[in-house]
Structure 1
Amino acid sequence: MKQSLIIALDFPDVIQTERFLSQFPSEKLALKVGMELFYQNGPSIISSIKERGHDVFLDLKLHDIPNTVKMAMAGLATLGADMVNVHAAGGQKMMEAAMEGLDKGTPAGKERPLCIAVTQLTSTSEEQMNKEQNISGSLTDSVLHYAKLTQQAGLDGVVCSTHEVKDIHHRIGRKFLTVTPGIRSAGGNVHDQTRIATPEQARSFGADAIVVGRAITASKDPLKAYLDMKAAWEGISC
């Protein structure tokens, strides 16, 4: 899923999901399955999407005691997702346990899913982090701290906003993945996001993958919206 435009499937059921995917008959997509879709439809939604030939980022943001996360990841590793995630706030031991679970659960002959950690949600502002999480200092420093912790735990990368990508790659390395939500076209609806960017900005900052949801899924013409976003992300003039 490296260098991907990942579409967030923010739908409650299989029917709406399949209706959406039917509009992309010739495209191999990278798709994010989050809590809304997974919890209401179960693991079968992953196999259904994989059977269509698409890649899957299973976005459940695990955050629990190390052993619980380890056993949960061992189960998720059997589903066929290409990438999974945890919350970095769970700590280094929890993230190490997640990797142990993934290694244990990945079927023989199959490649282990990529595992990344959420640093700070792109809906979180610095003021909110200071007041509600009681974390002092800058939001960038918090993200960089979590990114370093994630790297020490042996994960493949982080979820962050585009605005932290350059610093993360500078301090940790270019091979450490940065997956960036909060992507909007210029002048697009911000919705409930705070730290947003355009696909062009994400590319210029060096993001490895972008996650786009309602700008595509809520569009009157999802295929056109996707192709426009993809062209902007890849630096192709339309």
Structure 2
Amino acid sequence: MDNRVFVAADVADVSAARDLVAKVAPSVAGLKLGLEFFCAHGPAGIAAVMAGAGLPLFLDLKLHDIPNTVAGAVASLAPLAPAILTVHAAGGGAMLAAARAAAPSHTKVVAVTVLTSLDDGDLLSAGVGDGSAAQALRLARLARDSGLDGIVCSPHEVAAIKAIWPEGLFVVPGVRPEGSAVGDQKRVMTPRAARDAGAGVLVIGRPITAAPDPAAAAAAIAASLA
């Protein structure tokens, strides 16, 4: 079974997150905790959820600031031992390089390109006129040239970017099983299609966490990747 699913466990509290992890751990490859959870519970909350989980941590904080500030933030997160850590590619090459330099060797630093909640119209309103695919490719080149380990992009951009960065790690949100509600995601794909396009990590949240039976939902997704 080729399971690359990291479950997005940004639930209400630490105990709920620990309960979710216990239910889905047999069927997922890792755990993603992001900005909402981190702001509510801080590093101690992250550590409490990960204790005994037996899963790698994807710490999705999307850091974006001047290079010195981001480097300091990355260094301060080292005790949490994240397997993957996100920064924003839009922070620029110097910031990306500083983040990579400050991270432990075991942490993959990946750059967020274009959020999956945005479409071409949203980008146009922000001054990007050539669309999400072109912007994601542009920022992926910047991340690659700045020494990062990979990027975060929608499943629709993976194949084109993998062609210019075959060794990159592609972390892919916007993954929805067939028939699942899309929610606020605008550029989505099924888990198997995203995997086949070249995704290295599939980030899936609400189709698992909001399911009546999260364990069964996670198991079904894992089975679809068999």
Shorter-chain TM-score: which interval? over 0.9
Residue identity matched to 1:140: A
**Which of 142, 151, 160 is equivalent to 1:158?**
151
Structure 1 residues 167 and 128, CA, compared in 2 at 3 Å: closer, same or farther? Answer: same
- Structural mapping, 1:6-25, within 5 Å: 6-24=6-24
Q: Distance in 1 between matches of 2:187 and 2:27?
A: 29
Relative distance call for 1:120 and 1:26 in structure 2 (3 A) is closer
Report the alpha carbon displacement of residue 165 of structure 1 after superposing the two structures with TM: 0.6
Q: Structure 1: which amino acid aligns with 2:204? A: V
Number of the residue aligned with 1:218: 210
Q: Contact between 2:25 and 2:55, CA under 8 Å: does it hold in 1?
A: no
Q: Tell me the TM-score normalised to structure 1 length.
A: 0.89
Aligned position for 1:186: 178
**CA contact 1:46–1:56 (8 Å) conserved in 2:** no
Partners of 1:16 and 1:138 in 2: CA distance: 38
Q: Which runs of 5+ in 2 are unaligned?
A: none
- Residue matched to 2:140: 147
Q: Which moved more, 1:114-123 or 1:77-86?
A: 77-86
Cα pair 2:207 2:217 within 8 Å, conserved: yes
CA distance in 1, matches of 2:32, 2:5: 10
Tell me the equivalent position of 1:231: 223
Paired residue type of 1:71: G
Q: Shift of the alpha carbon at 1:139?
A: 1.3
- Quick check: 2:85–2:110 contact (8 Å CA) kept in 1? yes
Mapped pair 1:73 → 2:65? no
Query: Could you tell me how far apart the structure 2 residues matched to 1:97 and 1:127 are?
Result: 32
2:197 and 2:28 map into 1 onto residues whose CA distance is: 25
Q: Does 1:96 align with 2:85?
A: no
CA distance in 1, matches of 2:170, 2:146: 16
Return the alpha-carbon distance in structure 2 between the equivalents of residues 55 and 189 of structure 1: 27
Alignment check: 8 A CA contact 1:188 1:215 kept: yes
Matched residues, percent identical? 38
1:170 aligned residue: 163
Structure 2 CA distance for aligned equivalents of residues 212 and 152 of structure 1: 28
In the TM superposition, 1:21-40 aligns within 5 A as 21-24=21-24, 26=26, 29-40=29-40
Deviation of residue 25 (structure 1)? 6.3
Secondary structure of 1:58 counterpart: strand
Whole-Å separation in 2 of the counterparts to 1:112 and 1:55: 11
| Deviation at residue 13 of structure 1 after TM alignment | 1.1
TM-score by length of 2: 0.94
TM-superposed CA distance for 1:95, in Å, is 0.4
1:161 Cα deviation (Å)?
A: 0.6
2:116 aligned with 1:125: no
Q: 1:186, CA displacement in angstroms? A: 1.0
Gapped runs of 5+ residues in structure 1?
none
